[in-house]
């Protein structure tokens, strides 16, 4: 009550608090490092901060500065490399079959094979990007590697076929 009488409010006054560890120039330098290498982790940036900005800072400081600058962390999605030729062929193929009658689709068997990795890393990769750069968070997939098992499956208008494990590589004879 005494405080209300003298100040006119019950809220605490804003205090100065601790001075920031990084000044604006050093923050811009950190953001420049992230802009050059968006997949660098805050821990890695913090370890290299002595060389880049001349001051050792913690990874949590880096994370706070990224958050203040509206950087968000995205999981890098895997993208399949499509050749320019296939980019033009795909719409033509779709337009050719879109108006086929229902009887046509009774005789179609859809097949696909897929490889699943049982060794190695399925780990996620992260990137620090601004909202308008989200589309840049893509990582090309590795098409050839070891430690995988391949399966073949099919479906038609009438239902699903069996899921068949494939040993070795699938060629025209094995298909």
Q: What percent of the chain has pLDDT over 90?
A: 41
Q: Rounding to the nearest 10 degrees, give the CA dihedral for residues 116, 121, 123, 127.
A: -110
- What is the C-alpha to C-alpha distance for residues 113 and 151, in angstroms, rounded to an integer? 5
Name which of 63, 61, 59, 60 is nearest 23 in CA terms.
61
Q: What is the per-residue pLDDT across 148-165, written as a single tens digit (0 to 9) for each? A: 788 999 999 999 999 988
Most confident of 67-76, 84-93, 124-133, 159-168: 84-93
What is the average pLDDT across 40-61?
90
- What is the C-alpha to C-alpha distance for residues 52 and 33, in angstroms, rounded to an integer? 8
For residue 71, give every residue at least 6 positions away whose Cβ sits within 8 Å of its Cβ, in sequence order, or none: 31, 34, 128, 129, 130
Structure tokens at 166: 């494939």
- What is the C-alpha to C-alpha distance for residues 118 and 146, in angstroms, rounded to an integer? 9
Q: What element of type H or E holds 104?
A: helix 102-105
pTM of the model: 0.49
Domain range list for the chain: 2-69, 78-166
């Amino acid at each position: 009550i005494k405080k209300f009488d003298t100040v006119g409010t019950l809220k605490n006054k804003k205090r100065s608090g601790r001075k920031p560890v990084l000044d604006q120039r050093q923050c811009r330098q950190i953001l420049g490092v992230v802009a050059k290498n968006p997949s660098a982790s805050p821990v890695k940036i913090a370890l290299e901060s002595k060389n880049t900005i001349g001051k050792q800072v913690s990874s949590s400081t880096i994370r706070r500065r990224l958050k203040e600058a509206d950087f968000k962390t995205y999981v890098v999605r895997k993208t399949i490399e499509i050749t320019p030729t296939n980019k033009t062929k795909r719409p033509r193929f779709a337009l050719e079959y879109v108006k086929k009658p229902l009887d046509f689709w009774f005789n179609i068997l859809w097949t696909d094979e897929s490889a699943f990795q049982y060794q190695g890393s399925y780990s996620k990769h992260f990137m620090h990007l601004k909202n308008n750069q989200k589309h840049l968070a893509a990582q090309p997939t590795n098409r050839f590697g070891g430690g995988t098992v391949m399966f073949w499956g099919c479906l038609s208008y009438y239902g699903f076929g069996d899921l068949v494990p494939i040993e070795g590589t699938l060629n025209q004879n094995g298909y």
